[in-house]
Every structure is written in C-alpha cells, then in structure tokens.
Amino acid sequence: MKTRAIIMAGGEGARLSALTAKRTKPAVPFAGKYRIIDFALSNCVNSNIFDVMVLAQYRPQSLIEHIGSGGPWDLARDFTGGVRILTPYKARSDADWFMGTADAVQQNFTFIKQGSPDLILILSGDHIYTMDYDPMITFHMDQQADLTMAVVRVPLAEASRFGVVSVDKKYRVKSFVEKPKDPPSDLINMGVYLFNRELLDRVLWEDHQRKESSHDFGKDILPQLVREKARIIAFPYTGYWMDVGTIQSYWQAHMDMLSPNPPLKLYDRRWIIHTRTEERPPVRFPDNACVYASMLSDGCYIQDNARVESSVLSPGVIVRPGAVVRESILMTDCIVESGAVVERAILDKRVHVEKNARVGGGVGVPDIRLAVVGKNSVVPAGMVIEPDAAVGTDVAASDYPGPLVKAGETIETKRQPYEI
C-alpha cells in the first residue's frame, strides 16, 4: 500500500503571541535547535514514509527556508517521493486562501492524488510527539477501516480544548464532538488521520459544496462521517503528545523536557529528530558559572558568576557576568546583560536584555504567568517586564512609555518593522 503524508502547516498561531508575528506556528523554534514541524517530518521518515507534502499559508518564508529541499530528513528526492511545499494560489475559479484544514487539502487534491496513493496520512505540523505511523497503517488495514484517527488520553479537565472521541470496546468511533464544554470522555483527537484516498476525495468534494460548512476536519468532516456511520477506527497512542498552540503549553513542553525523566526521548538514537542546523562552536561556561537542569545549544556562552536554571537556550545565547536566567526559553542569539534577571519568560530570536533589566518572575509560584518578548526587540537597562506582559517584535528602547510594562500590557514598535 502506498502512503502519502500531508502536513498541515498553514496556521497563524495567534495564541502564541509575538512568537508567530513573523512566522507560521510550525516554524517556531523548539528545544533549542529544532522547529516544531521537525517532529512531524521526522516521524514520517522514521516510519519509512518518504512521500510528504506540506501545506503552508500564513507567513511561510521561515518554513520554506527551513525545509528547503528536505535534505536533513532524507527527503531530497527528485523523481519518487520527497517533500513538496504547497501554498495557496489564485486560479480562475475555486482557488484562494485556505478557509479551513479540509479546504486546504481540497484545494490541493489534484496534486495530492497524483501517482494514486492508496492511503493519505494527514498530520498537524504543530504538535510535539514521536510516533511510529507504521503500526497505525497496519491497524487500519487489519480493521478494514475507512478512516483511522489517532487518539490519546488527557486529564478530563483539559479535554474541552480538543475534539473528544467516544469509542466502543473494539475502538470503533461512536461519536465525535469538537471542543465540548462538558467533555463526555478523556479520549481526544490528536489530529492524525489515515484516510483511504477514495473516501477522502469524496468527502472533501461534498464538504466543498456545502456553503454552510467551515471546511474543517474537526468541525465538519469527522462529524459528517460519524453521521454516515462510516467505519472510523480510533488508534490509541500512549506516548508523550503536546499541542503547543498556546504560550502556556509551549513553555510547559519545554519544562517537560527538563524533568529528571523526560517523557520525550530526544536522545534516543533509534528515533532521531532531524533538523536543519548551522555550525556553531561548542557551549562554553567558566567554572564559576552555575548551569542547572538546562538544555544549552551550540554556541552558547555563559559567563562568570552567571546562573542558568531549568531553562532552554538556543544557539548563540550569551548570558553575561552576574545575569540570571530561570525557567525560561531563550531563542537564537539572545543576549542577557550583567545584572539582568529573566524568569518564566520566552525570548524570541535576537532579543537584547540590557543591564539590570528584569523580564518575568514568579519562580516557585504555582500560578504560572509568562512574559514574552518578540524577535529583534530590546529590553532597556533597568526596565521591568512583569509576568503576563508582552513585548512585540522590533521594539526599541524609545518605544517604551516608561520603566515598567505591567501584566496584561503589550508594547509594540512605533517604527516600520523589518523582516529577517
């Protein structure tokens, strides 16, 4: 059976605040050296699926540059398989910006069905997990399913954020409800779908013709197939899975990586997460610096008497003498100057925290509130950015109205932003 994977990577990701101001959600950096989409791409190639299409839309430049010809994932293939990135295009009729996840697949189905794949594996490009899709494909065939969807159990209190699935004893799907206020089950949809090509072709076209539809898999396609009593089988997944669609879940996924027994095995050589990286010198820190329970990428420089605790640092981060970084995520080439304190914060690429500034806070407090600073921004000397405050992209010292950014406030640049 020939399987083609489709990775949905067009999301705006507005709930990730400044992190998605200049990039699509799947292109957001993760765990120092990766991008979020690396997990879906690596899951495919580790599952021996080398025919992958990526559907992009919102600010795809970083994603396109990162994936390139697919070399890091062994997807640079000219004739059979490989990776192709598809973006919206304007045609004479019936083609425009994607209106939903199902519409994105429908608009590209002429390309998707080329070569007549038997099975279409649809994946979300913004989830953190390691999954072998081969057992799911075997399960699908053994069950003679029309559609197999991966499901995972979450705390019942969190289930309302997802599509909730009810199944019988043989894991046949009996009902599906998208983001219910009172979830009937703790079994939720992972956004991993394995369709027979003919079925997917039919249901997408029928949905395309429904003017009242939002053209979304969770809101429209799955409920319709349940009503039709299609043979939908739930494939239970028991590993680590995190939808990093919010600042809180994005931060929590990083903290999970720093636990004594991390639930996601980034260091398992049997399941490598592939990515595109640049050459950087080794990590360097002197004997009087303190680095505790953290992940540091190549090129990081932790200087005299600096402290880095329970944090994730991307390549090229510099922490100057006496500065403190705790329970935070610092992306590529951030600089934290002497005397500055960064706690429970997320700093995007090239953020410069000047001397004696403070970003975030609340370490040890159960109520987790995060500060966020966007790409290329400056936090001026002595400035205080409170927890739950945000600084946009390209913000300069002159953009701040005073020495304090209060919780709930967002500072944006008054200048024309530039793209890098």
Q: Are residues 232 and 340 in the same domain?
A: no
Of all residues in the chain, the percent with pLDDT exceeding 90 is: 87
Q: Residue 274 pLDDT more than 60?
A: yes
- pTM of the entire structure? 0.94
Task: Provide the pLDDT for residue 413.
Answer: 94
Task: Provide the pLDDT for residue 265.
Answer: 82
Task: Provide the pLDDT for residue 132.
Answer: 97
Task: Provide the pLDDT for residue 11.
Answer: 81
Are the C-beta atoms of residues 241 and 127 closer than 8 Å to each other?
yes
Q: Are residues 176 and 315 in the same domain?
A: no
Q: Are residues 308 and 370 in the same domain?
A: yes
We report the CATH number of the domain holding residue 367 as 2.160.10.10
Q: Residue 87 pLDDT more than 90?
A: no
pLDDT tens digits along 282-318: 999 999 999 999 999 999 999 999 999 999 999 999 9
Question: pLDDT grade, residue 100 (50/70/90)?
Answer: confident
Tell me whether residue 334 is in a domain: yes
Question: pLDDT grade, residue 369 (50/70/90)?
Answer: very high
Q: Residue 130 pLDDT more than 60?
A: yes
Locus of tokens 């001397």:
355
Geometric angle at alpha carbon 408, from 9 and 179, rounded to 5°: 45
Higher pLDDT, 370 or 108: 370
Q: Are residues 95 and 240 in the same domain?
A: yes
Are the C-beta atoms of residues 391 and 385 closer than 8 Å to each other?
yes
Mean local confidence (pLDDT), 408-416: 89
Q: Are residues 193 and 234 in the same domain?
A: yes
| Rounded-to-integer distance, Cα 162 and Cα 179, Å | 5
Tell me whether residue 277 is in a domain: no
| Rounded-to-integer distance, Cα 29 and Cα 254, Å | 11
| Rounded-to-integer distance, Cα 340 and Cα 148, Å | 51
pLDDT tens digits along 26-76: 999 999 999 999 999 999 999 999 999 999 988 999 999 999 999 999 999
Tell me whether residue 60 is in a domain: yes
Q: Residue 370 pLDDT more than 60?
A: yes
Q: Residue 419 pLDDT more than 60?
A: no
Tell me whether residue 280 is in a domain: no
**Beta bridge mates, 410:** 390
**Which domain, by its residues, includes 388?**
290-411
pLDDT tens digits along 4-26: 999 999 888 889 999 999 999 99
Q: Are residues 132 and 204 in the same domain?
A: yes
Q: Are residues 201 and 294 in the same domain?
A: no
Burial class (CB in 10 A: 0-12, 13-18, 19+), 395: buried
Q: Are residues 300 and 247 in the same domain?
A: no
In order, the DSSP letters of 108-161 are: THHHHTTT--SEEEEEETTEEE---SHHHHHHHHHTT-SEEEEEEE--GGGGGG
Tell me whether residue 271 is in a domain: no
Tell me whether residue 283 is in a domain: no
Q: Are residues 253 and 306 in the same domain?
A: no
Task: Provide the pLDDT for residue 90.
Answer: 57
* Residues in contact with 409: Cβ distance below 8 Å, sequence separation at least 6, in sequence order: 389, 390
Task: Provide the pLDDT for residue 420.
Answer: 43
Of all residues in the chain, the percent with pLDDT exceeding 70 is: 96
Q: Share the mean pLDDT of the chain.
A: 94
Mean local confidence (pLDDT), 264-291: 92
| Rounded-to-integer distance, Cα 154 and Cα 160, Å | 10
Q: Are residues 392 and 307 in the same domain?
A: yes
Q: Are residues 104 and 220 in the same domain?
A: yes
Question: pLDDT grade, residue 414 (50/70/90)?
Answer: confident
Q: Are residues 327 and 250 in the same domain?
A: no
